[in-house]
Amino acid sequence: MNLLDLNYEQLKEVVVKKGLPAYRADQIMDMLLCYKDWSEVSNLPKNTSSLFSDYCILPLEIINEFKGGNGVVKFLYKLQDNHLIEGVYLPNNYGNTICVSTQVGCKMRCAFCASGKDGFMRNLTSGEILAQVLLVNKIMGGTSKNRAISNVVLMGSGEPLDNYDHVVSFLKNISAKRGLNLSLRNITISTCGLVKQINKLAKEGLNVTLTISLHSTDDEKRKKLMPIASANKIIDIIAAADNYYKSTGRRVSYEYALTEENSDNSSVEKLIELLNDKNAHVNLIRLNEIEGQEVRGVSERRSIEILDRLNNFGISATLRRSLGSEVEGACGQLKNHFAKK
């Protein structure tokens, strides 16, 4: 059992059950949010740690880090059961972003993505997802009140909506007043387009930013890139995204990794047709190379041509800068290592 899986109310219940006064929950919560061990805090009675010996408080540790350009750092974390996951810290001019993993491995097996190549191991708990943010916040000099992290993207390994309950608990806990109090607007969930779960998320009352990995404008071609497309048609995904926008007021983004297959003029015109009347944003992504990859990307020149075509038509679009590729920390390059390193 992991104390970071609990919200404040649940933590208070545990604290009271252990025979401690309720106010100790605030001190323990602060310790947890600072990702500190019992021995690192001085405001709790000495025997507190033994009272909680049945609980884990630090579910992951950093066992390696790789520094890239522009301050990007990729972290290799070890979980309690020795599984390894990765995450990336990306400083930018509006704040600092951390990219977190939601699963060990991934079931989706997208052709261009490294995360699912070794299969799926298990879901991460909400506390394990939160711990990635807290630990990096700590080592970057942040505290529970003075955060060094301003944005979180759920774009590491795993499909967030395939680990729905833990991801929703994570979102609630990280944004709670008595949690890290991070605005949900600063958190982005990226999904391969699980229609049912997008519609469910729309009803949660969490105004988290949603981005959809579209990557194709044709269902048959999409199936070749993303096997999950067999169960989720593009038209239904876009309808679910519209529904999400209506329910939350949050503009949805579409990720479109530029491949030889999807970057021809007719695909681009189809993309325009699909998103024409939507309040949507398109994030064009230069395909990052992964080991054994069969999918080929397009030139920078072609990428810019596509960007211009979308913008000239009046569709909000950007070409994502690829940070972290030199440390294999860019999109799709985070793969699961099981005690490999």
Smaller CB distance to ligand SAH: residue 33 or 167?
167
Asked if residue 111 lies in contact with residue 295, where contact means CB atoms within 8 angstroms, the answer is: yes
* Strand ranges in 46-135 using DSSP code E only, listed in sequence order: 60-67, 73-79, 84-92, 95-99, 103-105, 120-123
Active site residue 86: yes
Q: Does 155 bind ligand SAH (CB under 6 A)?
A: yes
Catalytic, out of 86, 128, 159, 328: 86
CB of residue 270 to ligand SAH, shortest distance in Å: 18
Helix axes 8-17, 24-33, angle to 10 degrees: 130
Binding mask 206-235 for ligand SAH (x = CB under 6 A): -------x----------------------
Smaller CB distance to ligand SAH: residue 169 or 191?
191
Q: What is the DSSP letter of 338?
A: S
Binding mask 91-110 for ligand SAH (x = CB under 6 A): -----------------x-x
Smaller CB distance to ligand SAH: residue 33 or 331?
331
Q: Does 38 bind ligand SAH (CB under 6 A)?
A: no
How many residues would you count in the chain? Answer: 341
Binding residue for ligand SAH, selected from 190, 197, 209, 253, defined by CB under 6 A: 190
Binding mask 245-264 for ligand SAH (x = CB under 6 A): ----------x-x-------
Distance between CA atoms of residues 318 and 91, nearest Å:
19
Distance between CA atoms of residues 118 and 104, nearest Å:
10
Q: Which amino acid is residue 249, in one-letter code? A: G
Helix axes 265-275, 234-248, angle to 10 degrees: 40
Binding mask 289-318 for ligand SAH (x = CB under 6 A): -x----------------------------
Q: Does 51 bind ligand SAH (CB under 6 A)?
A: no
Smaller CB distance to ligand SAH: residue 201 or 285?
285
Cα atoms in the 13 Å half-sphere on the side-chain side of 228: 21
Smaller CB distance to ligand SAH: residue 57 or 113?
113
Distance between CA atoms of residues 4 and 176, nearest Å:
13
**Tokens 């950007």, located at residue:** 318
Structure-token pair, residue 47:
């025997």
Binding residue for ligand SAH, selected from 88, 192, 241, 323, defined by CB under 6 A: 192
3-state secondary structure of 89: strand
Smaller CB distance to ligand SAH: residue 51 or 104?
104
Binding residue for ligand SAH, selected from 73, 113, 180, 234, defined by CB under 6 A: 113
Catalytic, out of 99, 110, 192, 331: 331
| β-pair type (84-92, 95-99) | antiparallel
Asked if residue 171 lies in contact with residue 133, where contact means CB atoms within 8 angstroms, the answer is: no
Of all residues in the shown chain, the one whose CB is closest to ligand SAH is: 332
Distance between CA atoms of residues 332 and 159, nearest Å:
12
CB of residue 213 to ligand SAH, shortest distance in Å: 3
Binding residue for ligand SAH, selected from 4, 285, 317, 319, defined by CB under 6 A: 285
Distance between CA atoms of residues 80 and 6, nearest Å:
17
Structure-token pair, residue 322:
């690829």
Asked if residue 157 lies in contact with residue 336, where contact means CB atoms within 8 angstroms, the answer is: yes
Smaller CB distance to ligand SAH: residue 3 or 189?
189
Binding residue for ligand SAH, selected from 186, 197, 288, 336, defined by CB under 6 A: 288
Active site residues: 86, 331
Chain residues binding ligand SAH by CB under 6 A are 108, 110, 112-113, 155, 159, 190-192, 213, 255, 257, 285, 287-288, 290, 331-332
